[in-house]
Chain A
Amino acid sequence: MTIAQFLIVGSALFAIGLYGVITRRNAVLVLASVEVMLAAVNVNLVALDAYLVDPAAAGQIFALFIIALAAAEVGIGIAIVLMIFRNRRSANVDELDLMRH
Chain B
Amino acid sequence: MTHLVPLLTTILLAAEEGGAEAGHGPDVGITGGPLVEYAWLIVVLPLVMPFVITAIGKRLPWKGWELAWLTMGFVAVYGTVLLVAEATTGVLYHKSVHVADIGSFAIEWGFLVDGLSIMMYFLVGVVGFLVFTYALGYMKGDIRFTWFFVSFTLFAGGMLVLVAAPNLLQLIVGWELVGLASYLLIAHYWEDYENVDAGNKAFMTNKVADAALFIGAIILAMSVGSFSFEAILEVVASGDGSSLLSRYAFWAGLLVFIGAMGKSAQFPLHVWLPDAMAGPTPVSALMHAATMVTAGVYLLGRLFPFYLDPEMIFAGEVRTIIVVIGGITLFFVGLLAVVQDDIKKVLAFSTVSQLGYMVAAMGAGAYTAGLFHLFTHAFFKALLFLGAGSVIHAVHSNNMSDMGGLRKSMPATFWTFVIGSLALVGVFPFAGFWSKDEIIASLQHAGAENAESLATFVMVLAIGGAFVTAFYMGRTVFLTFFGEYKGHAQPHESSAIMTVPLWVLAGFSLVIGLVNAPGLYTGFTDWLATRTTAMGDHHAESLNYLLAVTVFLVIVVAAVVAWRLFSPNKETQAQRDRFSIPVLYPLLRNTYYIDDFYLNGIVRPTMGPAAQAVLWFDMNVVDGIANGAGYVARVFARGVNVFDQRGVDGLYNSLAAATEGAGGVLRLAFTGRVQQYVAFSFLGAVIIVALVLIF
Contact = CB atoms under 8 A, between A and B. Distances in A.
B682 interface: yes
Contact of A100 (B670, B675, B682): B670
B678 A22 contact: yes
B672 A97 contact: yes
B578 interface: no
Interface in B634-674: 667, 670-674
B679 interface: yes
B595 to A, nearest CB: 92
A93 B674 CA distance: 7
A40 interface: no
A94 B672 contact: no
Nearest to A23: B675
B672 A22 contact: no
A9 B671 CA distance: 34
A100 B678 contact: no
Interface residues of A, number: 13
Interface string A79-101: 00000000000000110111111
B672 A100 contact: yes
A99 B671 CA distance: 9
A93 to B, nearest CB: 6
B675 A99 contact: no
A2 B670 CA distance: 43
Contacts of B674: 93, 96, 99
A21 interface: yes
A93 B671 contact: no
A21 B672 contact: no
A94 B673 CA distance: 6
Nearest to A34: B678
A17 to B, nearest CB: 11
A96 B675 CA distance: 10
A21 B671 contact: no
Contacts of A96: 672, 674
A93 B678 CA distance: 12
A6 to B, nearest CB: 20
A99 to B, nearest CB: 5
A96 B678 CA distance: 14
A97 B673 contact: yes
A97 B671 contact: yes
A15 B218 CA distance: 111
A83 B682 CA distance: 28
Interface string A4-38: 00000000000000100111000000100000000
A18 B682 contact: yes
A98 B678 contact: no
Contacts of B672: 96-101
Contacts of B673: 93-94, 97
Contacts of A100: 670-672
Nearest to A97: B672
A76 to B, nearest CB: 16
Contacts of B670: 100-101
Contacts of B679: 22
A73 to B, nearest CB: 15
Contacts of A99: 672, 674
B675 to A, nearest CB: 5
Contacts of A21: 675, 678
A49 to B, nearest CB: 21
B324 to A, nearest CB: 106
Nearest to B675: A22
A50 to B, nearest CB: 24
B301 to A, nearest CB: 98
A93 B675 contact: yes
Nearest to B670: A100
Contacts of B667: 101
Interface string B669-690: 0111111001100100000000
A55 B673 CA distance: 44
A36 to B, nearest CB: 14
A1 B674 CA distance: 39
B690 to A, nearest CB: 15
B669 to A, nearest CB: 11
Interface in B30-85: none
B663 to A, nearest CB: 11
A33 to B, nearest CB: 10
A71 to B, nearest CB: 21
Nearest to B667: A101
A98 B674 CA distance: 10
A97 B338 CA distance: 112
A93 B682 CA distance: 18
A18 B670 CA distance: 20
A93 B667 CA distance: 20
A32 to B, nearest CB: 14
A98 to B, nearest CB: 7
Nearest to A18: B682
Contacts of A93: 673-675
A96 B672 CA distance: 8
A45 B679 CA distance: 24
Contacts of A18: 678, 682
Nearest to A94: B673
A62 to B, nearest CB: 19
A11 to B, nearest CB: 13
A30 B675 CA distance: 9
Contacts of B678: 18, 21-22
B501 to A, nearest CB: 91
A96 B677 CA distance: 13
B682 to A, nearest CB: 6
Contacts of B682: 18, 22
Interface in A47-95: 93-94
A98 B672 CA distance: 7
Contacts of A94: 673, 675
A85 B525 CA distance: 122
Select the residue from B670, B675, B682 with max chain A CB neighbours within 10 A: B675
Contacts of A98: 672
Contacts of B671: 97, 100
A98 B667 CA distance: 15
Select the residue from A18, A22, A30 with max chain B CB neighbours within 10 A: A22
Select the residue from B667, B673, B679 with max chain A CB neighbours within 10 A: B673
Nearest to A100: B672
Contacts of A97: 671-673
Nearest to A21: B678
A87 to B, nearest CB: 17
A97 B676 CA distance: 11
Contacts of A30: 675
Interface of A: 18, 21-23, 30, 93-94, 96-101
5 interchain residue pairs of minimum CB distance: A100-B672, A97-B672, A22-B675, A22-B679, A99-B672
Given A30-B675, A93-B673, 5 more contacts: A21-B678, A22-B682, A93-B674, A98-B672, A101-B667
7 contacts: A93-B673, A93-B674, A94-B673, A99-B674, A100-B671, A100-B672, A101-B670
